[in-house]
Structure 1
Amino acid sequence: MKIILRKNKDRIHKKDAWKKSAYSFVPYQTHFGELCGFADDIVEAGQGFGMHPHQNMEITTIVFEGKQAHKDNTGSEGTIDKNCVQTMSAGTGIMHSEFNASQTEPFHSYQIWVYPKEKDVLPKHEKYLFNSDDKLNKILLVISPDKRNNTAGINQDAFFSLLELEEGKSLSYFMHLPTNGVYIHTVAGKVLIENNELNTGDAIGIFETEKVYIEATENTHLIFVEVPMTKGVNLL
């Protein structure tokens, strides 16, 4: 088992008039396997990102508080809330915008970038809806390459999962593919992962193992991103 700790202080923190962000990676420069972007954004009411392009990237949006309004040049538009995840295959190229759907409250979301397995596919979006209880004290798979259990699809041998683990509870995460690694981010709370303490904003990357032991020392929310490790690890 190989372990890489990524503490909150190791992230790139930025703040402006309408957005507070923390970045775990610099896309196209740093990565954990095929994972190359992990942006933690809090966006003020009515604010957001205007139309901008992406190409040949698998982009996932996970909202933890509030609602995000999404629109793109394929005609797709809608909102994403805390009971929904959205995947976007940018493929040959797509333009899209993302805004806080509320005029009164901020929203908190994660945008996660994974390199594609196949380049230049047709751009598309997919969503997976769930109930909050679905991830209480059990790992909820929300994204998979084969759309198993009606999850959202992704153009990579990657698996995304969510977990809300109550204080004192423990469980193990089992790798979906033996050559993959998993990057686990602490959205909120305090947790022991393979005897490494993680607090809010901390993360841990683990590979060359079949399972990972997790124990919550406080009520904790986690994001799991399991990816192929063919690119190895390169962090700042």
Structure 2
Amino acid sequence: MKTSTPALSIRLAGERGHADHGWLDSRHTFSFADYHDPAQMGFRTLRVINDDRVAAGRGFGLHPHRDMEIFSYMLEGQLQHEDSLGNGRTLSPGQVQLMSAGSGVRHSEFNPSSDEPTHFLQVWIHPRERGLSPSYTEWHPSPEHTESPKVLIISPDGHEGSATIHQDVDIYRLRLGEGQSASHQLPAGHGLWLQVAAGSIRVNGTPLAVGDGVSSEDAGLFTMTADAPAEALLFDFA
């Protein structure tokens, strides 16, 4: 019996929204702030993927959030986080911070370097319920994760040492060398989003460049192969 290949919907990097504030250069996969496209309001409970570059010594001042799961995935430089829950952290490449804003929290994000820019992905996901108690969690790669092609970084129950999110989604970091592959089996009823953070990847043979995203609502096997050293986030929404 022949198995059909899952259908893919591609969101090209060059079609994203763009805001250049001088100190902040941001690319918006979905509608955000002054960028609005009714056809790009998110995917399932995924609401925001912002590809942010922050100049040295600059950042986002203290500001509020509520009823949103917000995580940052570091790509280059450092990011200093402080919030009204009393957390204060400085993140480095490959690390994740996840804040559940819940009933309300205030936080700031700042590039502490005097000369190096910071590059990170900030992702917003709707929680499964409103009014939760605010919380904060992190994921740091262990030595065995450094070169692992696929590792779980965020999940609803924190298994495998992942950060904990209040939504039915498993999120994986892919880190592939040239020619290296990783696979993911998407169950029936689930939805997949993959965001290329660095390099270039083919998903079931379809080429994607840095900044591209791809989604699918079809169950099946997804094979990701790097044409050049690559990094990506893979979301499996139940």
TM-score (norm 2): 0.90
- Within 2, Cα distance between the matches of 1:171 and 1:78? 31
Residue 19 in structure 1 maps to residue 24 in structure 2: yes
One-letter amino acid of the counterpart of residue 192, structure 1 = R
- Within 1, Cα distance between the matches of 2:114 and 2:185? 41
Q: Give secondary structure in 1 for the equivalent of 2:136.
A: strand
Residue 69 in structure 1 maps to residue 96 in structure 2: no
In structure 2, runs of 5+ residues without a counterpart are 1-5
Q: Give secondary structure in 1 for the equivalent of 2:145.
A: helix
Q: Give secondary structure in 2 for the equivalent of 1:219.
A: strand
How far the C-alpha of 1:166 sits from its partner, in A, is: 1.1
How far the C-alpha of 1:135 sits from its partner, in A, is: 5.0
Q: Give secondary structure in 1 for the equivalent of 2:130.
A: coil
One-letter amino acid of the counterpart of residue 210, structure 1 = G
- Aligned length, in residue pairs: 227
Residue 111 in structure 1 maps to residue 111 in structure 2: no
**Structure 1, residues 67-93: CA drift from partner, whole Å, max 9, x if none?**
111111121111111132111111001
How far the C-alpha of 1:156 sits from its partner, in A, is: 0.2
Mapping of 1:112-191 within 5 angstroms? 112-131=123-142, 134=145, 136=147, 138-175=149-186, 178-191=188-201
- Call closer, same or farther: CA 1:132–1:33 in 2, change over 3 Å: farther
- Call closer, same or farther: CA 1:20–1:133 in 2, change over 3 Å: farther
Aligned to 1:35: 46
Aligned to 1:219: 229
One-letter amino acid of the counterpart of residue 225, structure 1 = F
- Within 1, Cα distance between the matches of 2:139 and 2:188? 25
Aligned to 2:209: 199
Preserved CA contact (<8 Å) 2:149 2:181: no
Report percent identity of matched pairs.
Answer: 31
Aligned to 1:232: none
- Structure 1 segments of 4 or more deviating over 6 A? none
How far the C-alpha of 1:227 sits from its partner, in A, is: 2.1
Aligned to 1:45: 56
How far the C-alpha of 1:173 sits from its partner, in A, is: 1.5
Aligned to 2:111: 100
Aligned to 2:3: none
Preserved CA contact (<8 Å) 1:83 1:132: no
Q: Give secondary structure in 1 for the equivalent of 2:8.
A: strand
TM-score (norm 1): 0.91
Moved more, 197-206 or 77-86: 77-86
How far the C-alpha of 1:132 sits from its partner, in A, is: 6.7
How far the C-alpha of 1:59 sits from its partner, in A, is: 0.5
- Within 1, Cα distance between the matches of 2:141 and 2:123? 19
In structure 1, runs of 5+ residues without a counterpart are 229-236
Preserved CA contact (<8 Å) 2:77 2:117: yes
What is the RMSD computed on CA atoms of the aligned residues? 1.7
How far the C-alpha of 1:40 sits from its partner, in A, is: 0.4
Q: Give secondary structure in 1 for the equivalent of 2:56.
A: coil
One-letter amino acid of the counterpart of residue 164, structure 2 = G
Preserved CA contact (<8 Å) 2:79 2:92: yes
